[in-house]
A and B are shown apart, each in its own frame.
Chain A
Amino acid sequence: MTGRGVLTFTDRGIYCPAGDFYIDPWRPVPRALITHAHSDHARWGHGRYLATPRSLAVMRHRLGDITAQIAEYGQVLRIGDADVSFHPAGHVPGSAQIRVCVAGQVWVASGDYKTENDGLSEPFAPLPCHSFITESTFGLPVFRWQPQPRITEQILRWWQGNRAAGKTSVLGAYALGKAQRLLHMLADGPGPILCHAAVENTNASLRAAGVALPQSDVLTPECSAKTHPGALIIAPPGAIEASWTRRFAPTEVALASGWMGLRGIRRRRAMATGFVISDHADWPGLLQATKETGAENIYVTHGYTDIFTRYLNESGHSAQVVPTEFGTDDDDSAGPA
């Protein structure tokens, strides 16, 4: 038994013949199982969706009226001849690895994942399996994250320094996942936290789905350096240089992304400050996760696929690259360019 065939790779996405469903498909299909709500994984136009409650809360906000069914973590659903269950991936709140078992063969599609417990997302746990489908967004050994408390310290020191200099702190972070994680990390900070509307909408969806997020204020046209002196503003990276920032002048701007670990990329974005924090696994995390699954076969879907695959093969695993259309959405997976 090679296990081949439990999940297959098609031009629409990852497909399960035994259950006649797709996982994170990129073209419209009748039935889609969704690992998490980032738009390169949860796309518009499928017949029926299956996802965790927290993913669905955000997807309903983003995709509108969709036909969907809830999958609780750990709950085993029978779909056709396949037993399917969702398990925490630690990427963002509600994100899941999807375990598919057909006739005793277990495959796990991990979507995007992070091995460090961020205190907000349901923590990642490795799932023993025969075949493991992994990302490799940061699949280079130069990527090694510092523990979250160290990053919290760095950001708080920056914020405190900006406050002391009479400046507003503007922190660029992706609206789903990174933004909430920062909100959680910085809740005991020295001043008020304002969230850009795109962030606050996601906060609202997640709060409604039971995620215990700290209090935050939404950034409105009435907010300024006068109403919120010394504030920290969390905004999507695309919005940190928009005209609203003038109301908060003088400002200091920083980005929170795994890519900030490379000086060249930080300088190209003309960022004085970058905080190296990612919702994806770093190199040690990827290695640890693949090892702990005990998988015989590893499929690498996006990121530094060639390099990570070669390394796995040289380390005694059996790995191969699978081309997908993932890795185009959140600020980390969007790649270094």
Chain B
Amino acid sequence: MSAFSDLFQALDATTKTSAKLAALGQYFQTATPEDRLWCIAVLSGRRPKRVLSSTLLRRWAAEAAGIPEWLFEECYANVGDLAETIALLLPPAAQTRPLYLAPTIADLRAMAQLDDAARKAHVLAQWAQLDTTGRLVFNKLLTGGFRMGVSQKLMTRALAQATGQPQPDLAHRLMGNWHPDTSDWHSLIMAQNPTADSSRPYPFCLAHGLDSPPQDLGDAHDWRAEWKWDGIRAQLLLRDGQVFLWSRGEELITDRFPEFAGLSIAGGNTVLDGELVVWGSDGLPQPFQALQKRIGRKTVPKALLASAPARLLAYDCLEFGGQDLRALPLAQRRQHLQTALDQLPNPGPVLPPPAVAGAHTWENWASTRQTARAHRAEGLMLKRLSAPYHAGRIRGDWWKWKLDPLSIDAVMIYAQAGHGRRATLYTDFTFAVWDGPTLVPFAKAYSGLTDAEFRQITAWVRKNTQQRFGPVRQVVPELVFEIAFEGIQPSPRHKSGVALRFPRMARWRQDKTAAQADTLAHLNALLAQYG
């Protein structure tokens, strides 16, 4: 199996991890090195840049299918996937060929140089040679939205099986800045000593949510409690006189945060793990909303830099003096962290996080956790002092112990169909609370219910639609849901005057009528208390 379309087909035709591993393994052994490398790139989010606007693509597809554009849009709304919609609508091809990855990508990139007429001719010619699966894959590469039910972790596992290289080592090799243009299969995957790349971060160690009483974790003295901050998880690399700041999503964000420019440590190459936050004049991290103003900006105006200064709350040290410390226990890594922090400017952009006070007892931590909101934290992190720094999300040594969410009972007023496996199901809802006799929208949510509940609500939405605005249906204000959320902030951009953090449906309140839902006054009271 060396064609990428065959790999896609094989992955799509199974729900079993073992079968996916086998398909990937086979591909990694039979595809050309260039194809393999691009497959890894695509499956780890290094997609080729989108070369076409989806508007153009839709127009060409509708034309090729011989249907009006409104009908194309209806199809898209029902299929829930643009690439698939096009693949299904095009007239069947007379003769088809499989799709190979590297040549297709080379082809797509060449298209960037062409004018629209030439691009169109090119796309139509490709469609005419591919079967439905081939078209689906081609369209997904074209639109840049490539997900194929394979996590980076699963891909790394398959790669480990196919090459005999250890999985954590591969996970590290695949981090950071590499690109198929500037790398090759041998140097990236197989070489004994991969060329040192000073911009390459380590795989992040991730935590699971605590799902049983903390006492089950054993003696509290074996653990360290930290505040769980609501910022961006980030790794700061100070290597060879250079600075690299990586987000957890493996995005290089150095340029967006000039605060860190020019930092270095006398003790040698250093990598710190922590939380990126906006620091307030009150000596506390600011709500996530403040950070949002910074995230989207590639260049930062001076005023914003002054009003929303970014800081890294550094809580772990992964490399010091050029040595990889990840195998050391947390207790020892923290000693290195202290040494590193001592060599950084004070005050400066890297800070030790405000500590969790009091004794190492579950009782103390349980009561401390309740005060998290006053510390601008989401709860506590529990980390085992003897644990190494794992690659990825491994159960047992790191736990998130978050506060119970806030909640409010709200009325559903709009519904929209979802995408992907939620296509044709109404899953995306807008919620409102009462302001006198009117309903004021304040949040959108699309998670928290079971498939069975979504099916039931979908049938209800179809029967209770009052008005349609494109894909959005205004429904009879009748269903009540408990909306849970992590935080609440004032927001002039929202009609209700508030913005919620992580709203989701905690449950469907079938016991309540719309009249019994909460009010805007109630929402404002929560804002006054927790905002």
Contact A142 B85 (CB under 8 A): yes
Q: Decide if B380 is an interface residue (CB 8 Å cutoff).
A: no
Residues of B within 8 A of A261 (CB): 88
Q: Decide if A12 is an interface residue (CB 8 Å cutoff).
A: no
User: Smallest distance from the beta carbon of A310 to chain B beta carbons, Å?
Assistant: 8
Residues of A within 8 A of B12 (CB): 263
Q: Complex Cα distance A69/B248, Å?
A: 72
Q: Decide if B74 is an interface residue (CB 8 Å cutoff).
A: yes
| Proximity string of chain A (159-203) to chain B, C-beta cutoff 8 Å, 1 when within and 0 when not | 000000000000000000000000000000000000000000000
Contact B78 A263 (CB under 8 A): no
Q: Decide if B89 is an interface residue (CB 8 Å cutoff).
A: yes
Q: Decide if A208 is an interface residue (CB 8 Å cutoff).
A: no
Residues of B within 8 A of A263 (CB): 12, 81, 84, 421
Contact A142 B419 (CB under 8 A): no
Contact B13 A337 (CB under 8 A): no
Residues of A within 8 A of B85 (CB): 142
The size bracket of the interface on A is: 20 to 34
Residues of A within 8 A of B420 (CB): 264, 267
Whether A268 touches B425, Cβ cut-off 8 Å, given contacts A263-B81, A337-B455, is: yes
Contact B67 A272 (CB under 8 A): no
Residues of B within 8 A of A273 (CB): 13
Residues of B within 8 A of A143 (CB): 88
The one of B16, B65, B75, B424 in contact with A264, judged by C-beta atoms closer than 8 angstroms, is B424
User: Smallest distance from the beta carbon of A187 to chain B beta carbons, Å?
Assistant: 25
Q: Complex Cα distance A306/B202, Å?
A: 53
Q: Decide if A140 is an interface residue (CB 8 Å cutoff).
A: yes
Residues of A within 8 A of B425 (CB): 268, 336-337
The one of B78, B80, B454, B455 in contact with A140, judged by C-beta atoms closer than 8 angstroms, is B78
User: Smallest distance from the beta carbon of A141 to chain B beta carbons, Å?
Assistant: 6
| Proximity string of chain B (57-88) to chain A, C-beta cutoff 8 Å, 1 when within and 0 when not | 00000000101101100110011110011001
Residues of A within 8 A of B455 (CB): 337
Contact A140 B16 (CB under 8 A): no
Among residues 6 to 47 in chain B, which have CB atoms less than 8 Å away from a CB atom of chain A? 12-16, 19
Q: Complex Cα distance A303/B301, Å?
A: 54
Q: Nearest A residue to B84 by beta-carbon distance?
A: A263
Among residues 126 to 176 in chain A, which have CB atoms less than 8 Å away from a CB atom of chain B? 140-144
Contact B68 A314 (CB under 8 A): yes
Residues of A within 8 A of B81 (CB): 263-264
Q: Decide if B524 is an interface residue (CB 8 Å cutoff).
A: no
| Proximity string of chain A (304-315) to chain B, C-beta cutoff 8 Å, 1 when within and 0 when not | 100100110010
Among residues 305 to 337 in chain A, which have CB atoms less than 8 Å away from a CB atom of chain B? 307, 310-311, 314, 336-337
Whether A307 touches B88, Cβ cut-off 8 Å, given contacts A264-B424, A267-B421, A337-B458, is: no
| Proximity string of chain A (250-286) to chain B, C-beta cutoff 8 Å, 1 when within and 0 when not | 0000000000011111011011110000000000000
Q: Complex Cα distance A304/B455, Å?
A: 17
Q: Complex Cα distance A307/B85, Å?
A: 16
Contact A140 B74 (CB under 8 A): yes
Contact A307 B16 (CB under 8 A): no
Q: Decide if B224 is an interface residue (CB 8 Å cutoff).
A: no
Residues of B within 8 A of A337 (CB): 424-425, 454-455, 458-459
Q: Complex Cα distance A267/B149, Å?
A: 10
The one of B15, B78, B88, B89 in contact with A270, judged by C-beta atoms closer than 8 angstroms, is B15
Contact A264 B71 (CB under 8 A): no
Q: Decide if B107 is an interface residue (CB 8 Å cutoff).
A: no
Contact B74 A262 (CB under 8 A): no
Whether A142 touches B68, Cβ cut-off 8 Å, given contacts A264-B80, A268-B425, is: no
| Proximity string of chain A (88-101) to chain B, C-beta cutoff 8 Å, 1 when within and 0 when not | 00000000000000
Contact A141 B422 (CB under 8 A): no
Residues of B within 8 A of A310 (CB): 70
| Proximity string of chain A (1-44) to chain B, C-beta cutoff 8 Å, 1 when within and 0 when not | 00000000000000000000000000000000000000000000
The one of A141, A272, A314 in contact with B15, judged by C-beta atoms closer than 8 angstroms, is A272
Residues of B within 8 A of A265 (CB): 421, 423-424
Contact B13 A141 (CB under 8 A): no
Q: Nearest A residue to B418 by beta-carbon distance?
A: A264
Contact A311 B78 (CB under 8 A): no
Q: Nearest A residue to B454 by beta-carbon distance?
A: A337
Residues of B within 8 A of A267 (CB): 149, 420-421
Contact B424 A142 (CB under 8 A): no
Q: Decide if B324 is an interface residue (CB 8 Å cutoff).
A: no
Q: Complex Cα distance A268/B427, Å?
A: 13
User: Smallest distance from the beta carbon of B15 to chain A beta carbons, Å?
Assistant: 5
**Most B-side CB within 10 Å, residue of A140, A265, A314:** A140
Residues of A within 8 A of B74 (CB): 140, 304, 307
Contact B459 A142 (CB under 8 A): no
Q: Complex Cα distance A140/B67, Å?
A: 11
Q: Complex Cα distance A298/B81, Å?
A: 31
| Proximity string of chain B (444-473) to chain A, C-beta cutoff 8 Å, 1 when within and 0 when not | 000000010011001100000000000000
Contact A311 B15 (CB under 8 A): no
User: Smallest distance from the beta carbon of A323 to chain B beta carbons, Å?
Assistant: 10
The one of A262, A270, A272, A307 in contact with B71, judged by C-beta atoms closer than 8 angstroms, is A307
**Most B-side CB within 10 Å, residue of A261, A273, A314, A337:** A337
Residues of B within 8 A of A141 (CB): 65, 67, 71, 75, 89
The one of B75, B84, B451 in contact with A268, judged by C-beta atoms closer than 8 angstroms, is B451
Residues of B within 8 A of A268 (CB): 421-422, 425, 451
Q: Complex Cα distance A268/B425, Å?
A: 10
Residues of B within 8 A of A271 (CB): 15
Contact B14 A272 (CB under 8 A): yes
Residues of A within 8 A of B79 (CB): 142, 262, 264
Residues of A within 8 A of B75 (CB): 140-142
Q: Complex Cα distance A310/B70, Å?
A: 10
Q: Complex Cα distance A304/B77, Å?
A: 12
Not counting A265-B421, A337-B458, a sample of 9 additional A-B residue pairs whose C-beta atoms are within 8 angstroms of each other reads: A142-B88, A142-B89, A144-B88, A262-B78, A262-B80, A264-B81, A264-B84, A268-B421, A307-B71
**A-B pairs with the 3 shortest C-beta distances?**
A264-B423, A336-B424, A142-B88
B residues bordering A, Cβ < 8 Å?
Answer: 12-16, 19, 65, 67-68, 70-71, 74-75, 78-81, 84-85, 88-89, 149, 419-425, 451, 454-455, 458-459
A residues bordering B, Cβ < 8 Å?
Answer: 140-144, 261-265, 267-268, 270-273, 304, 307, 310-311, 314, 336-337
